[in-house]
Every structure is written in C-alpha cells, then in structure tokens.
Amino acid sequence: MAGRQSAANDVARISEDGKIPPSFHLGGLPYFGYRLAVTAKLFDRKFVEILKAHSTLTLPQWRCVAQLGLAEPGTVRSLAEGAVVDRAEVSRALARLVAQGIVARGDNAGDQRSPQFTLTGEGRALFASLRKPVSEFIGSLITQVAESDIEAADRVLWTVSKGCQD
C-alpha cells in the first residue's frame, strides 16, 4: 500500500510543480513499459470517473459507442479488434447497449453469423454529449505539451503498439 501511496503522491507532485519526480525514472529505460502501463491505468481510472459523471456507460460500453460513433456499422470482431479487447467483453457490452436502446443490432448480408451494430438516435445523442467532457479531459492533459511533443508521442505509441502485435 505504501508503494501505491508514493506513486499517487508523485503524480500529484507532477501536477503541482510541473517537474517529474525522481521515482518516475526508477528503473530507467527498461521500465518504460511499466510507466506506460501505469499511465494507461491512471488514464482509464480518470476516464471512468468522467463516464460516471456524464452517463451510465461502463468503459467497455464506451469503447463500443465511441467506435460506432466514428465508423458504423461494426461487428463484434471489428469492435474487439479496434479496442484490442476480447470478443466476449465486446459481446457483453453490446448486449447491454442493445437492451438499453443505445445500439441497434442488424443483419449482416455478407456474413449471417456476424450481426452488424449501429448507434440508435439515442446512442448518437449520447455519443455527442460525451464528446465534450472527453475532449475537455484530453485537452486538460495536453494543454502544456507542445504539438511536436504530441506528434513524437504518437510515433512512440504507434511503434510500441506495432511491436506488441508481432
């Protein structure tokens, strides 16, 4: 527990004075993946707080809604691949979204075993209403970061992502 408290304090210190605490560099480059995983976990936790404040969606449900909001229709397979999660998680999320009237399930002429999913009118409205707080959150994270640094981070994240798929 003390380790978690220390990490939380370090994150708080970063936001207070803008300096990276020494503990964030522990382990050096070999621990970059660990720091990346911790950052992703912190991001998910904050994201869940935003979802709870503005909707009843879970994180897996949001991942489906977000993908469908940008590119419809989707299948269980395409949505799972897009979010890099297992199909069972997507299937459960979609079942709840369909039951709530947020997502519609339709036939897939190309593959009867794989239904297609789209947002309903209610789903589109929900997606639109969540985009603002999500965008504000992302904006608050990068407000002090130069665009060239964000572009560099994108390249690093893409390279790491590709390496994890091999």
The amino acid sitting at 115 is P
Q: Regarding predicted confidence, which is higher, 71 or 9?
A: 71
Q: In the chain, pLDDT over 90 holds for what percent of residues? A: 60
Q: In the chain, pLDDT over 70 holds for what percent of residues? A: 85
Domain boundaries, the chain: 1-46
| Distance, CA of 28 to CA of 129 (rounded, Å) | 41
Q: Could you tell me which residues are beta bridge partners of residue 79?
A: none
Q: Which of 53, 137, 40 is nearest to 83 (CA)?
A: 40
Q: Does residue 133 register a pLDDT over 50?
A: yes
Please state the pTM of the whole predicted model.
0.77
11's CB contacts (< 8 A; 6+ apart) are: 42
Cα R_g (the chain), whole angstroms: 19
pLDDT of residue 3: 47
Encode pLDDT of 14-70 as tens digits: 445 566 766 677 787 888 888 888 889 989 999 999 999 999 999 999 999 999 999
